[in-house]
């Protein structure tokens, strides 16, 4: 899943400041966990630069600017999909980069990372070779992608902002403006082929589905229910099973101190197989499964109890 790209180096001076656009061999590696694809965009090796810096400057900042969207093409039917991207950290060969404020251009948003470099390490104006390294950890939400193989690209640019003034916040905007003005040659875009397996996201990846009855008067009942969101990247049959208490025809009865709670995944107070529910979930359609708890209060004091909810899908 490695890929390389090279971009025409360009630079543009802004008064006493100057900029450099550079490229390095890139690779994107990662793995899927549910409906998230996490990995590292990395670059290390020999590349090229184009500099308009005529002399040494006191401050040198490097930037890694990454689009918040990836464009993925299904290799089976050539349909295009958009997957949201968030960067987790970034680094250069001299250490971790700092996250700066997001930038936008038109309808597109970008995350910006930057780091100071020793001033004046570049030679004078012109083209040349360069060796460098950077690494960006990212996570991509692939819930909008059906199961299959995709060719994806993440729009990004890398550059240096060199100045006599210490203003790292300005540099990210300068590099982004320059990349936009250069068109395709301003962006270090590469493609990687990834395989997305069939998967579902249950309850937004949370492992606890809490139901709080609050204060309940002894001798009365309290009914609470919560919705558990489910989304899958292919048509799936999702089964929810409850256990951990006494299985009954209308759910699972849980002893909570002097009180009892009847928990079910049915929308009814009673009915066969209320401790188990199967539902068909369509591809990329949000579906809610309702979990219901009926607490029969008795006595006094704090009550708590647990049931185990197992979710499977095919």
Question: How does pLDDT run across 233-277, given as a tens digit for each residue?
Answer: 999 999 988 888 888 878 888 887 788 888 998 655 555 568 888
pLDDT of residue 68: 95
Residues 227, 309 within the same domain: yes
Residues 53, 103 within the same domain: yes
Backbone angles phi, psi at 129, to 5 degrees: -95, 155
pLDDT of residue 153: 85
pLDDT of residue 195: 95
Closest CA to 89 of 131, 41, 156, 133: 41
Residues 72, 59 within the same domain: yes
Question: How does pLDDT run across 175-234, given as a tens digit for each residue?
Answer: 898 778 777 667 776 678 899 999 999 877 667 788 899 999 999 999 999 888 999 999
Structural domain count of the chain: 2
What is the pTM (predicted TM-score) of this model? 0.74
Q: What is the CATH number of the domain that holds 302?
A: 2.60.40.1090
Cβ-count burial of 151 within 10 angstroms (0-12 exposed, 13-18 middle, 19+ buried)? middle
Examine residue 9 and state whether it is found in any structural domain, yes or no: no
- Is the separation of the CB atoms in 114 and 65 below 8 Å? no
pLDDT of residue 305: 84
Last residue of a domain, one of 151, 170, 196: 196
**What's the domain range around 107?**
18-196
Examine residue 2 and state whether it is found in any structural domain, yes or no: no
Residues 66, 176 within the same domain: yes
Closest CA to 290 of 188, 213, 218, 209: 209
Enclosing H/E stretch for 148: strand 148-163
> Could you tell me where the DSSP H helices lie in 183-296?
none
Residues 78, 159 within the same domain: yes
């Amino acid at each position: 899943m490695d890929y390389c790209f090279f971009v025409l180096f360009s630079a543009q001076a802004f008064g006493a400041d100057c900029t450099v656009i550079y490229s390095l061999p890139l690779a994107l590696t990662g793995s899927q966990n549910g409906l998230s694809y996490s990995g590292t965009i990395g670059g290390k090796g020999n590349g090229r630069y184009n500099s308009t810096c005529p002399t040494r400057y006191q401050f040198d900042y490097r930037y890694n600017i990454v689009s918040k969207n990836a464009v993925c093409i299904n290799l089976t039917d050539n349909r295009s999909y958009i997957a949201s991207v968030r960067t987790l950290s970034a680094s250069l060969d001299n250490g971790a980069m700092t996250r700066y404020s997001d930038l936008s251009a038109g309808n597109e948003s970008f995350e910006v990372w930057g780091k100071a470099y020793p001033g004046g390490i570049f030679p004078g104006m012109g083209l040349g070779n360069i060796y460098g390294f950077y690494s960006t950890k990212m996570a991509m939400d692939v819930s909008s992608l059906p199961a299959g193989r995709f060719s994806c690209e993440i729009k990004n640019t890398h550059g240096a902002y060199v100045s006599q003034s210490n203003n790292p916040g300005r540099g990210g905007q300068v590099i982004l403006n320059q990349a936009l003005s250069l068109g395709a040659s301003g962006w270090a875009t590469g493609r990687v082929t990834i395989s997305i397996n069939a998967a579902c996201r249950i309850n937004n990846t949370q492992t606890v589905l809490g139901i709080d009855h609050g204060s309940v008067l002894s001798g009365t009942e309290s009914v609470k229910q919560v919705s558990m969101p489910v989304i899958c990247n292919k048509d799936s049959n999702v089964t929810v099973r409850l256990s951990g208490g006494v299985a009954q025809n209308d759910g699972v009865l849980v002893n909570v101190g002097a009180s009892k709670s009847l928990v079910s995944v049915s929308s009814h107070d009673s009915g066969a197989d209320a401790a188990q529910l199967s539902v068909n979930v369509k591809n990329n359609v949000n579906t809610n499964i309702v979990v219901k708890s009926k607490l029969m209060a008795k006595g006094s004091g704090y009550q708590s109890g647990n049931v185990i909810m197992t979710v499977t899908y095919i």
